Structure 1
Amino acid sequence: MCGICGEYNYRSGKPADKEKLIKMANSIIHRGPDDSGIDMQGSIGLSFRRLSILDLSIAGHQPMKDSDGIITIVFNGEIFNFNELRAELRNRGYSFQSNTDTEVIIYAYKQWGEEFLDRMNGMFGLALWDKKQQKLIIARDRIGIKPIYYHESNDGIVFSSEIKALFEHGCVIPEVEPGSVYNFLRYRYTPAPETIYSGVKKLAPGMAITIENGSKKIWRWWNYRPNSFLGKKREDTVIQELSEIYTNALRRHLISDVPVGLLLSGGVDSALLLAMMKKEKGDWKTFSVGYGSLYEDDELQDAMKTAEYFNSDHHQVLIDQKMFNRSLPKIISYLEEPVATSSIVPMYYVCQRARQDVTVALVGQGPDELFGGYNRHVGIRIGEYYRYLPKRMRSFLEKIFKKKMNNELFRRALFALGDDDRKSRYQNVFSIEDASLIGSLFSEDSRENILNAQPIFLWDELTSFISDADELTGFQYLELRSSLPDELLMYSDKLSMAHSLELRVPYVDKEIVEYAEGLSQSLKMSCFKRKYIHKRVAKRFLPREIINRKKRAFASNVVKGWFRESVDTFLLDSIKKKHAKIYSFLDYNNVQDLIKANQNGMDYHKLIFSLIVLEQVVSVWG
């Protein structure tokens, strides 16, 4: 895993600026402390920071070229099927000078053109320059594990793995875009291709930018459409096939020339990874984060029991509330974009500890989105039945919900359950509050800028892929391509790379994702039992006591409690001051009314914390 930067002045034709490209790369040195490189070819320049994972020799230096010097690439990530691709390319007459996956990408492009992207199974953000064709391809992996940010100007395009490099280049200044802030406050993340900064875009998952002979196109290279053929398979057949797919994906994700470990929670998903790892050769190190036995939802003991069961070399990180309060502003600054989730603090500390012993760590993210592990997935299924009810019965239930309006979960249910428009319904499920409430927080001057803000306009294209999918699968299709990459995977990338640690996510391997999206919702959630088929697979590897444990997710409930206490104490002061930066686009009085309502019993803590995170980000970067 590494960091890439580039400048291509395809509009003006002026030479790329070498000094600026060096500064860009140096600003993300944490992503690649082992090596650096730069390549200048007139109006295009590429720079790079390397974290050595495969082929630690100088043969892995980037930017990398083919033997003819025609193709140049900078590549961040890992291609997990590179050995198979290399064997196929050798059979076609290509020779290789290294054992890296980077070199495989070059010759895959030479063999298959732009179709090389679909042949790769991995996580990546890359830029490939074809001197002969005068073509630049910038691409992001299917699920968006690796980020790509860019800015367009009258000269051309500047891009990087992180936003700070664009600011370092000077092509764009940190200026907040109110429409994107509206989306963040509604969803707690900013959906691609927008960021909260004017002039800064992020490439959406499974998308690419091609610039050839002065002409640019942005296109979707991953066009997988869910189908229902797997719904007709016997359950025991699905369990067997999914077990094999899991095992093969895990093996691919263990390929490395540096030590590999595992971030271990107390739950099923990471325990299943450890169980499969133990079937492979190696003594594995595991890392957990917790808060001590005083907290009911602490999971250090559960994680320790799992580690003991599988005899891993286990290490723990203990966080207290003082550490939480002290580190939160710094952690938020690493994110660059605001993400208001309780998991950012434990993720930061467990990655910090893991990096002391390993360079690569696996993480058990993905099954919740793939197989229906969240409360919102239960709500999606309930909503199907709810919309079949007679209008009189629905009106009666809505009256009950309205009496519970102080409860955030009931408010979200009221907004979403009865909505007959599919895309609107999904948007309301994601929303932490009603759109009108979010809009009321903006100043009069800024409201005009958010009127035309499409909450998730990328969905306009994606919804065409789910016309034949059942309700839960359709929602998860969007979830995997929006909230997972733009929230969970984004902060995992930023907070792990802050410590020069590569995180790998085996459960979102291409083969797993495409198989899971073909399963019917009845196999994902049976009688409202979440992650049904996933847990049936896990029973082949794990004892019942692990399968039946309460879901804790790095003890997020403990952190949520600290969030609430922080909202009521020192962090709240940051948005109580009239000179806070967010009031350049938000209405001070309306925000204070929201705070008072929360103190008087309305549950707005998620929205208030989002405002606090926003203020922290804008104070650092805006």
Structure 2
Amino acid sequence: MCGITGWVSFDADLRKRQEDLDAMTATMACRGPDDSGTWVDEHAALGHRRLAIIDLPGGRQPMSVRTPNGEIAMVYSGEAYNFGELRAELEGLGHKFETDSDTEVVLHGYLQWGEGVAEHLNGMYAFAIWDTRDQKLVMIRDRMGIKPFYFYPTRDGVLFGSEPKAILANPSARRVVDLDGLRELFAFTKQPGWSLWKGMSEVEPGTVVRVDRDGIHTHTYWKLEAREHTDDQETSVAKVRELMTDIVHRQLVADVPRCVLLSGGLDSSAITGLAAARLAEEGEQLRTFSVDFFGQEENFKPDEMRDTPDSPYIRDVAKLVGSSHQDVMLDPAALTDPQVRRAVVTARDIPAGMGDMDTSLYLLFKAIRGESTVALSGESADEVFGGYRWFHDETARNAETFPWLAFNTGVHDRGALLRGELAAKLDLDGYIADQYRTALTEVEHIDGASPEERRMREVCHLHLTRMVRALLDRKDRASMAVGLEVRVPFCDHRLVEYVYNTPWSLKTFDGREKSLLRHATKHVLPQSVADRVKSPYPSTQDPGYASALQQQAKELLAGANDDVFQLVDRNWLAGAVETDPSTMDALTRHGLDRALDLYHWLDIYQPELELG
């Protein structure tokens, strides 16, 4: 796992711009604390920061090969889990290797298959190749969008980077945020290609972007396709079990310490059970980590999203599989520490406003990084198998909008804290409606499918092409900010394709959510977890958290001319700080978190706001 950056300029000599390249590369230091390297040609410059995972001494980057017709250089972030098979295939085709790294395999894959190399990869990746033979830059991102990748067209080429901060370090990039950027920030529809920064875009998942003297060209090499599912229930469960076992085994490969993120839910527990069994075969004990809050278990109160605390289920799993388990315990002071909030905002490049669910994730990863370099996560199982509660709420899933926004409109009224004039210009309701209609046009259907199956295919597609991308970005940024590689087995494209095309009746054959996953992995689960109802990532219920937010918001209000009030309604914030923290609703608490994130983001990035 690494951080990549660089740019192409067809009218300039970038050999004279080493200082700018070094500045861009330096912004990726957290993503790659182990090594740094650059490669510069007349019209292309590549920068790399390395987190060493496989072949620690041999995987230095940028990596290049010389051909009779010119040099080819690459910067690569991610892991190709099938690199062993690909290496053997390429050796059979005459390729010679000097290292044991997957990076060299991908580079030789490009030599063999050109831009089609992506279709041969199983993994998570974002990489850029400068091909001097054709004077072209090729940027490729993994199918699900696990690894972030951004680009910024310029007058005579393009800038690119794993994160926006790398691009923004170049003097050619303007730090402008306009109404279009703010709409998606507050709407949470995950518009494909969106970046908060004007003029900047994501390389979309499953996409190749080629830059040459004729301009920028894109090609989609993978997308969700509708196919007939002919396997019966027993065969489907067996297939999911087979895939999950293979995926976890592949993703445990590393030359550094590994662990699993364990929440006590079905998803992470399934990964834990499969990983523990595999490591036991190698004579190794699995390490597991969880995040929790002081007093949460003893004082837990069921709410709309969470029926039970996580801790009892975590203990059941750890006991069953015999893992070496550690709870990372947090209190309101740690969760609301302004320096932690600034670290999270810097990691994400956006004022996301997810509060303790962001800060606790960052602090969890920071604690894990002291003992492990690779962690497996249960992220994305709910999108793949249909686990969220709104999948099973008839009103939400049949609403004419994104189901996660329909399930609890109060919590998702994300523009509540905005100045009235700005909220009117943004027209978030209109934006969300447009994005929803656009998203539905991308869904393919099977002929003869029932109305319910057609609708549930739409719901699944919305989650796998929209919501999951936002959550994957969140996890990547928080983990890489501390140099931790998080792998997501449920995003293996083979599993995604197979489960996506199983009928909804099969996904819920036992009358519960995630039936296929539950039955495919029950052999490695304690009964308590196999029977547990879906519970999302934990959030503190301590009123001390809301009280600390209010105190910090009062300090904002004391600053009469603070820039944050270009966006935030001062009267709304004044009312929020007077609310009883013990009875504060989710909307108010979310608004306080968002206001504080906006304040720190404006202070850190100093963006130019175009609000006209």
Quick one: which amino acid aligns to residue 444 of structure 2? Answer: I
CA contact (8 A) 1:443 1:585 kept: no
Alignment partner of 2:79: what SS? strand
Aligned to 2:458: 474
Q: Is the 8 A contact 2:568 2:595 kept in 1?
A: no
Distance apart, 1:425 and its partner CA = 5.3
1:448 Cα deviation after fit: 4.7
Sequence identity percentage: 27
Q: Distance in 2 between matches of 1:359 and 1:307?
A: 20
- Structure 1 gaps of 5+ residues are 384-412
The count of corresponding residues between Structure 1 and Structure 2 is: 578
Cα RMSD (Å) of the superposition?
3.1
**Corresponding position of 1:429:** 406
Q: CA offsets, 1:153-202, max 9 Å, x none?
A: 21321111122222222222433222222222222x75342222223322
TM-fit CA distance, 1:246: 0.3
Task: Name the structure 2 match of 1:114.
Answer: 115
Deviation at 1:578, TM superposition (A): 5.1
Distance 1:436 1:254 in 2: 40
Show the 5 A alignment for 1:419-498.
419=400, 424=401, 429=406, 432=409, 438=415, 441-442=418-419, 444=421, 447-448=424-425, 454-455=431-432, 457=435, 460=438, 463-468=441-446, 470-486=454-470, 488-498=471-481
1:90 maps to which residue? 91
SS at match of 1:317: strand
* Aligned equivalent of 2:303: none
Aligned to 1:398: none
| Counterpart position of 1:362 | 376
Q: 2:345 aligns with which of 332, 346, 358?
A: 332
The one-letter code matched in structure 1 to 2:406 is V
Match of 1:157 in 2: 158
- Once the two structures are superposed, what CA deviation does each residue of 1:379-424 show, in whole Å capped at 9, x if it has no partner? 3xx14xxxxxxxxxxxxxxxxxxxxxxxxxxxxx5xx8453xxxx4
Output the CA distance in 1 between the equivalents of 2:320 and 2:404: 42
Give the Cα separation in 2 of the matches to 1:356 and 1:215: 45
What is the 5 A alignment of 1:153-552?
Answer: 153-187=154-188, 191-227=191-227, 229-230=228-229, 232-280=230-278, 281=282, 282-292=284-294, 293-296=297-300, 298-326=309-337, 327-341=340-354, 342-379=356-393, 382-383=394-395, 417-419=398-400, 424=401, 429=406, 432=409, 438=415, 441-442=418-419, 444=421, 447-448=424-425, 454-455=431-432, 457=435, 460=438, 463-468=441-446, 470-486=454-470, 488-526=471-509, 529-549=512-532, 551-552=534-535
Amino acid at match of 2:59: G
Higher mean C-alpha deviation, range 599-608 or range 125-134: 599-608
C-alpha contact (below 8 Å) 1:333/1:616 kept by paired residues: no
What is the CA–CA distance in structure 2 between the aligned matches of 1:5 and 1:418, rounded to whole Å?
A: 41
User: Greater CA deviation, 124-133 or 289-298?
Assistant: 289-298
Structure 1 residues 22-41: aligned runs within 5 Å: 22-41=22-41
Deviation at 1:454, TM superposition (A): 4.6
CA gap of 1:169–1:145, structure 2 versus 1, over 3 A, is same
What is the CA distance between 1:140 and its match in structure 2?
Answer: 1.4
Change (3 A) 1:80 1:166: same
- Name which of structure 1's ranges 543-552 and 363-372 shifts more when overlaid on structure 2: 543-552
Tell me the SS of whatever aligns to 1:316: strand
In 2, Cα distance between the equivalents of 1:434 and 1:318? 26
For 1:129 and 1:36, how far apart are their aligned partners in 2? 18
List per-residue Cα deviations over 1:326-384 (Å, max 9, x = no partner): 133432332212323342122112211211111111111111111111122123xx14x
Q: Distance in 1 between matches of 2:504 and 2:233?
A: 13
Taking structure 1 as the reference length, the TM-score comes to 0.85
Matched, 1:610 2:594: yes
CA contact (8 A) 1:578 1:588 kept: no
2-structure distance, mates of 1:128, 1:501: 25
CA distance in 1, matches of 2:498, 2:560: 52
> CA–CA distance in 1 between the matches of 2:51 and 2:169?
21
Residues 9 and 526 (structure 1), Cα distance of their counterparts in 2 relative to 1, 3 Å cut: same
- Check whether the contact 2:373–2:485 (CA below 8 A) recurs between aligned residues: yes
User: Is this contact kept in 2: 1:598–1:604, CA < 8 A?
Assistant: no
Q: What residue is the counterpart of 1:619 in the other structure?
A: 603
- Distance in 1 of aligned mates of 2:331 and 2:372: 24
Instruction: Write out per-residue CA displacement over residues 409-452 of structure 1, whole angstroms, 9 at most, x where no aligned residue.
Output: xxxx5xx8453xxxx45585389569998499455478557699
Residue in 2 aligned with 1:409?
none
Contact 1:64 1:74 in 2 (8 A): yes
Cα drift, residue 126 of structure 1: 0.6
Larger mean Cα displacement after TM superposition, 28-37 or 148-157: 148-157
When residues 438 and 526 of structure 1 are mapped into structure 2, their CA distance, relative to the original with a 3 A threshold, is farther
> 2:83–2:105: 8 Å Cα contact kept in structure 1?
yes
- Cα 1:223–1:301 change in 2 (3 A) is closer
Change (3 A) 1:535 1:452: closer
Counterpart of 1:534, as a letter, is L
Residue 64 of structure 2 corresponds to which residue in structure 1? 65
User: Matches of 2:408 and 2:8 in 1, distance apart?
Assistant: 38
1:8 is the counterpart of 2:8? yes
Q: Does 1:130 align with 2:128?
A: no
* Distance in 1, Cα, partners of 2:314 & 2:27: 36
Decide whether the 8 Å contact of 1:65 with 1:72 is kept in 2: yes
Instruction: Answer whether contact 1:263 1:350 (CA < 8 A) is retained.
Output: no
Q: Shift in Å at residue 603 of structure 1?
A: 5.9
Match of 2:610 in 1: none
Q: Which residue of 2 aligns with 1:584?
A: 566
Letter in 1 for 2:122: N
